[in-house]
Structure 1
Amino acid sequence: MADYSMYTDQELAAFLKQGDEVAYTEIFARYNYILHSHAVNKLRDREEARDIIQEVFTYLWQKKETITFTSSLSGYLYGAVRNAILNRVVHKQVQEKYFDSLKAFSLRGEVVTDHLIREKQLREFIEQEIALLPPKMRQVFEMSRKENLSHKEIAEKLDISEQTVSKQVTNAIKILKTKLGVVVYLWFIMDK
């Protein structure tokens, strides 16, 4: 078997496009640590950085045949991480705006029935979507997000690897982001 560590990024990218798992593993080994450090530096959150790196590499494998590396493999990976970080930042800003508006609303002491009904409906919708996740994924996601357990703690409790936990959480977030993204966006527009 060839030593893939001797191949250039360009050669690895070509192998990857052909579905070569060993090339993918070498790319992961070559860039995982440095991309994770880069993401931690920007986010100041190791778990969130790990989730982003997992998302980027999952996407890389899923789209291996169709991805075009316009500059270089490293350029593509850094760009993908940068874009994922920006998406997280924007998402956090939307969340903060939502929480700030709820806080301001509660401080006014007003009871607006319509607003409370829509908020309850949104919460119920989110819970329904979480309930529709595959059982194992839902269990891991709820332990992570509702019980605030670390990936390591979840892995120990369920006797699975941290990588499996990370993948399950990442996949759950992707599914929920896709299903809830438009609903949350429309809810914010209606709330103005």
Structure 2
Amino acid sequence: MFEYKALSDQELISLLRTGDKYAFTEIYNRHKNLLQNHLYKKLGDQELVKDVLQDLFVKLWANKSQMPLTDNLPGYLFSAARNRVFNHLSHKQVESKFISSIQVFFSEDNYITDLKIREREFAQIIRQEIEALPPKMRAVFVLSREEQLSHEEIAKQLNISSQTVSKQISNALKILRVKLGLLFYFL
């Protein structure tokens, strides 16, 4: 086995292109510190520097067979690192714009307006589902929930038993739960 430290960058690239992991390790050890210092000056965050470096070298290994035979390996690595910094900054800028737009949305009462619209739409859907109930069941349910009459009062008014009133309200609630539950699920 020969000494990898004695090899030139071009020789290491040639070996790397064939899948030589020791050549990869030597390239990493040889250029890691300079890249790390350069990235830290640009990013100012050691954890982010580690992430960018790891990404750079993972991609280098993954694409080893397409690695260009360059006379300037440090320049190639610095360019790759610079591109990753640009990508990171671009991503941060998009992320920042998105967060700002959400903050504007919430601060401009759009959120409350949206909630009010949804509330009205949902109330209308509930009204439609109540209207779709069988006529006697609907009458009992409306007197119970909207007129807020007791079961006995509804029974007297409709000339039915209190037990029938209770059963009709129970059935109406079951039907509405199923229909409105599906609606909630799909929303």
Q: Same fold (TM over 0.5)?
A: yes
Q: How far has the Cα of 1:69 moved from its partner? A: 4.0
Report the 3-state secondary structure (helix = DSSP H, G, I; strand = E; otherwise coil) of the residue aligned with 2:11.
helix
Q: How far has the Cα of 1:67 moved from its partner? A: 1.8
| Distance across 1 between alignment mates of 2:42 and 2:114 | 40
| Distance across 1 between alignment mates of 2:94 and 2:7 | 43
The answer to whether residue 5 in structure 2 is matched with residue 16 in structure 1 is no
2:14·2:69 contact (CA, 8 Å) conserved in 1?
no
The answer to whether residue 77 in structure 2 is matched with residue 77 in structure 1 is yes
The TM-score normalised by the length of structure 1 is: 0.56
Report the 3-state secondary structure (helix = DSSP H, G, I; strand = E; otherwise coil) of the residue aligned with 2:67.
coil
The structure 1 segments of at least 4 consecutive aligned residues displaced by more than 3 Å after TM superposition are none
Give the alignment of 1:87-98 within 5 angstroms. Answer: 87-98=87-98
| Distance across 1 between alignment mates of 2:90 and 2:70 | 26
Q: How far has the Cα of 1:113 moved from its partner? A: 4.0
Q: Which amino acid aligns with 1:86?
A: F
Give the alignment of 1:1-192 within 5 angstroms. Answer: 1-111=1-111, 113=114
Q: How far has the Cα of 1:109 moved from its partner? A: 1.9
| Distance across 1 between alignment mates of 2:71 and 2:4 | 21
Question: Per-residue displacement from partner, 1:98-130 (whole Å, max 9, x unpaired)?
Answer: 11111111211222649xx9xxxxxxxxxxxxx
- Change in Cα spacing, 1:99 to 1:71, as seen in structure 2 (3 Å) is farther
| Distance across 1 between alignment mates of 2:92 and 2:12 | 35
* Percent of residue pairs identical: 37
Q: How far has the Cα of 1:35 moved from its partner? A: 0.7
Higher alpha-carbon Rg: 2
| Distance across 2 between alignment mates of 1:67 and 1:113 | 53
Report the 3-state secondary structure (helix = DSSP H, G, I; strand = E; otherwise coil) of the residue aligned with 2:83.
helix
| Distance across 2 between alignment mates of 1:73 and 1:19 | 17
Structure with more relative contact order (C-alpha pairs < 8 Å, separation 6 or more): 1
Report the 3-state secondary structure (helix = DSSP H, G, I; strand = E; otherwise coil) of the residue aligned with 1:65.
helix
Give the total of aligned pairs. Answer: 115
- Change in Cα spacing, 1:67 to 1:4, as seen in structure 2 (3 Å) is same
| Distance across 1 between alignment mates of 2:50 and 2:11 | 26
